[in-house]
């Protein structure tokens, strides 16, 4: 008589926090692959992305959400809505706090107030960036946040170095409900290749134009061509809001856009496991953040 294997587990984990708390870095560390773009700039994550992590018989759907902050523009409101939507219906909520910055800001206070209204969803607290934070501060943060919300467990991690991530992953796996897996074992993210390619290019813009170009750029994968040799030709448009921003992206004699393309193409080839021919174009589109089609491309709902 053959023993019946134990049931599989699968559930959704909402990873929320203030901008630049390290949510995307943590999701990447839990998945064990780069599925979310990261940069030193706040509000890098714009869309709701699901990273797929596996631990034993458990599959965890990690919802990497935009950072929650005080919205001013339509794009800001859409991003904050996506973050709170990601938390709704989750099996577990993981609150990520930048241990170095702490809680003395309006963004963290707004998140704590929002979570206080949810009295049913299990919550874990992750104090991130502990490798650059004094131990005394970690203890005071733990006491302060424990007094605000009934966290089931508290983890001190460095998503950047991986310290503490394995313990968090094991705990999340044990909290998942019995369910068939929602995705194949080798899939690491629930995102289209077109959107992933656009996100990779946007990450390179953030990295290479950190000071020169603020949050005025969007990337659209306009065309995707499959070639007979197994490679793909990807045509992308980088939208900027003003004429003065276009030469910043292009650079002198096209040097900047060439460097952006080379870095993005290398990342795409690593992610997709195939040869990529990348063609980048820059277009001026005033008020692109008011264009409904842009929201569809980046996976955000239009908000009034």
pLDDT digit string, tens, across residues 152-182: 999 999 999 999 999 999 999 999 999 999 9
Instruction: Give yes or no for residue 269 having a pLDDT over 70.
Output: yes
Task: Tell if the pTM clears 0.85, that is, is over it.
Answer: no
The closest of 63, 21, 27, 74 to 44, measured between CA atoms, is: 21
User: Is the backbone of residue 249 left (phi > 0), alpha (psi -120 to 50) or beta?
Assistant: alpha
Q: Which two tokens stand for residue 199?
A: 């996100």
Tell the burial category of 77 from Cβ atoms under 10 Å away from its Cβ (0-12, 13-18, 19+). Answer: middle
Q: What is the pLDDT of residue 1?
A: 46
Q: Which two tokens stand for residue 235?
A: 């045509």
Question: Which DSSP symbol is given to 44?
Answer: -
Q: Are 51 and 15 in contact (CB under 8 A)?
A: no
Within the chain, all domains assigned CATH 3.40.50.300 are found at: 9-175
Q: What is the mean pLDDT of residues 90-101?
A: 90
CATH class of 9-175: alpha beta
- For the ranges 13-27, 48-62, 187-201, 224-238, the maximum mean pLDDT occurs at 224-238
Instruction: Give yes or no for residue 288 having a pLDDT over 60.
Output: yes
Helix %, strand %, coil % of the chain (to 5): 40, 25, 40
Q: Are 117 and 87 in contact (CB under 8 A)?
A: no
Q: What is the pLDDT of residue 39?
A: 42
Within the chain, all domains assigned CATH 3.30.300.20 are found at: 192-298
Question: Which DSSP symbol is given to 289?
Answer: G
Chain centroid offset of residue 278 CA: 23
- Beta-bridge partner residues of 63: 14, 50
Q: How many residues does the chain have?
A: 304
Q: In the structure, what pLDDT confidence band is assigned to residue 16 with cuts at 50, 70 and 90?
A: confident
- Residue listed under structure tokens 């409904």: 292
Say how far apart CA 276 and CA 189 lie, in whole Å. 20
CATH number of 192-298: 3.30.300.20
Question: Which residue has better confidence, 186 or 216?
Answer: 186
- For the ranges 75-89, 91-105, 261-275, the maximum mean pLDDT occurs at 261-275
């Amino acid at each position: 008589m053959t023993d019946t294997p134990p049931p599989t587990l699968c559930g959704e984990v909402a990873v929320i926090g203030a901008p630049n708390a390290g949510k995307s870095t943590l999701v990447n560390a839990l998945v064990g692959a780069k599925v979310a773009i990261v940069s030193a700039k706040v509000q890098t994550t714009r869309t709701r992305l699901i990273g797929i992590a596996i631990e034993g018989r458990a599959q965890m759907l990690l919802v990497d959400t935009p950072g929650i902050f005080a919205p001013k523009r339509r794009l800001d409101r859409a991003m904050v809505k996506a973050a709170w939507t990601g938390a709704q219906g989750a099996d577990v909520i993981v609150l990520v706090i930048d241990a170095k910055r702490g809680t003395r800001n309006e963004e963290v206070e707004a998140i704590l107030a929002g979570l206080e209204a949810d009295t049913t969803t299990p919550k874990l607290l992750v104090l991130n960036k502990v490798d650059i934070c004094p131990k005394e501060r970690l203890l005071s943060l733990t006491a302060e946040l424990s007094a605000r919300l009934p966290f089931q467990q508290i983890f001190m991690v460095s998503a950047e170095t991986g310290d503490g991530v394995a313990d968090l992953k094991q705990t999340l796996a044990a909290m998942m409900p019995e369910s068939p897996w929602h995705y194949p074992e080798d899939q690491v993210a629930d995102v289209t290749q077109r959107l992933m390619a656009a996100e990779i290019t946007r990450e390179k813009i953030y990295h290479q134009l950190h000071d020169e170009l603020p949050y005025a750029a969007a990337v659209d994968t306009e065309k995707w061509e499959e070639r007979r040799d197994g490679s793909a030709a990807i045509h992308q448009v980088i939208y900027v809001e003003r004429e003065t921003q276009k030469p910043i992206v292009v650079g002198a004699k096209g040097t900047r856009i060439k460097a952006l393309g080379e870095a993005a193409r290398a990342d795409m080839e690593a992610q997709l496991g195939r040869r990529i021919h990348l063609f980048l174009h820059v277009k001026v589109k005033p008020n692109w953040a008011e264009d409904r089609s842009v929201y569809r491309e980046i996976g955000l709902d239009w908000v009034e």
